Amino acid sequence: MTTTTASEIHSDLQAFLRKSPHKLLIGGQWLPAASGKTFEAYDPATGEAIARVAEAAAEDVDRAVKAARAALDGPWAKMSPAERERVLHRAADLIEKHAEELAQLESLNNGKTIREAKSGDLPLSVALFRYYGGWPTKIHGETVPVSVPYYPGAKFLHYTVREPVGVVGAIIPWNFPLLMAVERLAPALACGNAVVLKPAEQTPLSALRLGELLLEAGLPEGVVNVVPGFGETAGAALAAHPDVDKITFTGSTEVGRKIIQASAGNIKKVSLELGGKSPNIVFADADLEAAAKGMFMGIFYNQGQTCSAGSRVFVERSKFEELVHALAERAKTVRQGPGLDPRTQMGPLVSEEQKRRVLGYIEAGKKEGAKLLAGGESGAGKGYFVKPTVFSEVKDGMKIAQEEIFGPVVSVMPFDSVDEVVSRANGTPYGLVAGLWTKDIKKAHQLSQRIKAGVVWINCYQFVDAAAPWGGYKQSGYGREKGQYAVDLYTQLKSVWVDLN
Ligand code: NAI
Ligand code: MG
């Protein structure tokens, strides 16, 4: 048990952690890995182990896929849409009931602050199960008025049916471990699919706890299988498995490419939510106080480990000095510590590897001539802390202005005209989100049309909802999760003809 926490560890969480070594969830059973191997789950605030977890590899993934297929063809298919709704609503209720425990687990294994886990990850997870809990009885086809030119006067009944895609492999990252799992499971289950979930190796624990809660909610065995393991082994085996119908992936663009390649074997459906290098654009006529908060939150939420991080801030020149210095001063006052300590404002990064990667970008920024205004080094202690870092004098072509850093590092740059900022904002291979701050409503809407991004926030930043579609342009991926759009992702359409002649 970690010693870094100032708050009490919930007794249910203590009981869960005592189950170490944690097993895989396959076909409703908790099983060790076929190899017998386990790996360590650790607290990134200290680097110390908190549990051991069975390490899935190809053989386990294969068992999980078979279990999912059996469930899909068996009890799950027989369950009515109304019954499916009740299971999803019970899942929402159970997550809500265990919110405190799950928030602590998330904070302990990921490093995020308990405040963010409680105000963001947990309520959103509940909301996703509630939102998709309403869908099963509302997913339906249509009748289509067909005319057949080579059969004049003929009458047909034509209708469409939405059917599940089948076995869905969900490969998710470590930045919002529970939320990412729920964001895939809720719509996939609402649409009647069975799922093999591979959580990230850094953060396997909340997915396993979620697996327990889903069984308690009455989900039939095998409908959700949880197989923690490493990307190159478990992840790759799932992505390439010939009996998986669809992969939903969130993570790096580099691995996204591998997922596409692996899908070619059996022509899997694929949806990808990849990296970002998102612009957050502040005009001089904005509510500057709100914009300053949006700049700060946009980059430093979740230690900067969000695909939607506003990592390139563009400020209209007349307000540049004022805002960049305000951001740097605020960054210097951030209290870093273990996520579980309620006084902590920023936790550690998720891993040693991520810390090294982020520090590497900071070095690159310095070397290329950017000016460091705050942070720029690791934080105190054994954990994977990096101080919130603000760079100015950044050129668009620099590594820190082009590549996703996925840490608390922001580049703040001045701009002079709308055309200039549009072209610079669009000047990376990514297109996930963008923020715009202005009181000029015409300018805001004109700009939102010219920005190549899947999500545009006007006078706000980092807002998400179960009903609002989420996904990227360009190399930030394809497909839209959340909302009714995920129903398209997790169903396939059948066209049925009936001869009435
Ligand atoms: P990653 O893309 O390697 O890992 C994400 C998930 O993919 C994990 O579950 C991992 O086990 C799995 N995976 C890795 N290699 C795989 C393979 N060959 N086949 C199938 N699955 C595989 O991301 P990583 O290494 O944790 O972070 C690297 C960078 O990726 C970050 O610095 C960040 O820039 C980006 N990233 C973006 C995320 C987003 O939300 N868009 C989330 C996590 C990382
Ligand atoms: Mg990786």
In CATH, which of 3.40.50.200, 3.40.980.20, 3.40.605.10, 1.10.3720.10 is domain 6-274+478-495? 3.40.605.10
Query: For all residues of the chain together, what is the average pLDDT?
Result: 97
Within 10 Å of residue 411's Cβ, how many Cβ atoms?
Answer: 25
Considering every ligand atom, which ligand is closest to the CA of 353? 1
Choose, from 221, 273, 316, 404, the residue flagged as catalytic.
273
Instruction: Give the distance (Å) from ligand 1 centre to CA of residue 84.
Output: 31
The residue among 473, 472, 475, 470 whose CA lies nearest residue 486 is 470
Output the pTM of the full model: 0.97
Q: Is the predicted pLDDT of residue 471 greater than 80, yes or no?
A: yes
- In the sheet that 477-478 helps form, which strands lie side by side, from edge to edge? 29-31, 24-26, 224-226, 194-198, 167-171, 246-250, 269-273, 477-478
pLDDT of residue 7: 57
Per residue in 21-60, pLDDT tens?
A: 999 999 999 999 999 999 999 999 999 999 999 999 999 9
Instruction: Give the distance (Å) from ligand 1 centre to CA of residue 109.
Output: 17
Q: Is the predicted pLDDT of residue 1 greater than 90, yes or no?
A: no
Q: In the predicted model, what is the mean pLDDT of residues 283-301?
A: 98
Question: Residue 211 and residue 219: Cα distance in Å, rounded?
Answer: 10
Q: In the predicted model, what is the mean pLDDT of residues 236-262?
A: 98
Mutate which of 299, 400, 406, 464 for ligand 1 pocket (most atoms within 8 A of beta carbon)? 406
Cα maximum dimension of the chain: 80
Question: Residue 276 and residue 453: Cα distance in Å, rounded?
Answer: 10
Within 10 Å of residue 420's Cβ, how many Cβ atoms?
Answer: 11
Q: Is 273 a catalytic residue?
A: yes
Kindly state if the Cβ of 171 falls inside 6 Å of ligand 1.
yes
Kindly state if the Cβ of 181 falls inside 6 Å of ligand 1.
no
pLDDT of residue 31: 98
Q: Is the predicted pLDDT of residue 122 greater than 50, yes or no?
A: yes
How far are the Cα atoms of 83, 99, 141 from residue 161, in angstroms, in the given order?
A: 19, 37, 4
Instruction: Write the DSSP symbol of residue 378.
Output: B
Per residue in 390-408, pLDDT tens?
A: 999 999 999 999 999 999 9
Per residue in 149-171, pLDDT tens?
A: 999 999 999 999 999 999 999 99
Contact 192, 210 (CB under 8 A): no
| 279-466 CATH fold | Aldehyde Dehydrogenase; Chain A, domain 2 (3.40.309)
Give the phi and the psi of residue 495 in degrees, each rounded to 5. Answer: -110, 120
pLDDT of residue 297: 98
Considering every ligand atom, which ligand is closest to the CA of 171? 1
Q: Atom 8 of ligand 1 has which residue's CA nearest to it?
A: 200
pLDDT of residue 3: 44
Strands 48-54 and 477-478: unpaired
Instruction: Give the distance (Å) from ligand 2 centre to CA of residue 282.
Output: 33
Contact 14, 105 (CB under 8 A): no
Question: Residue 78 and residue 73: Cα distance in Å, rounded?
Answer: 9
The residue among 9, 183, 251 whose CA lies nearest residue 108 is 9
Instruction: Give the distance (Å) from ligand 2 centre to CA of residue 380.
Output: 26
Considering every ligand atom, which ligand is closest to the CA of 272? 1
Structure tokens at 385: 């802390």
- The identity of residue 82, as a single letter, is A
Kindly state if the Cβ of 457 falls inside 6 Å of ligand 1.
no
Q: Is 307 a catalytic residue?
A: yes
| Domain coordinates in residue numbering, the chain | 6-274+478-495, 279-466
The residue among 293, 280, 278 whose CA lies nearest residue 403 is 278
Per residue in 335-366, pLDDT tens?
A: 999 999 999 999 999 999 999 999 999 999 99
Question: Residue 248 and residue 188: Cα distance in Å, rounded?
Answer: 10
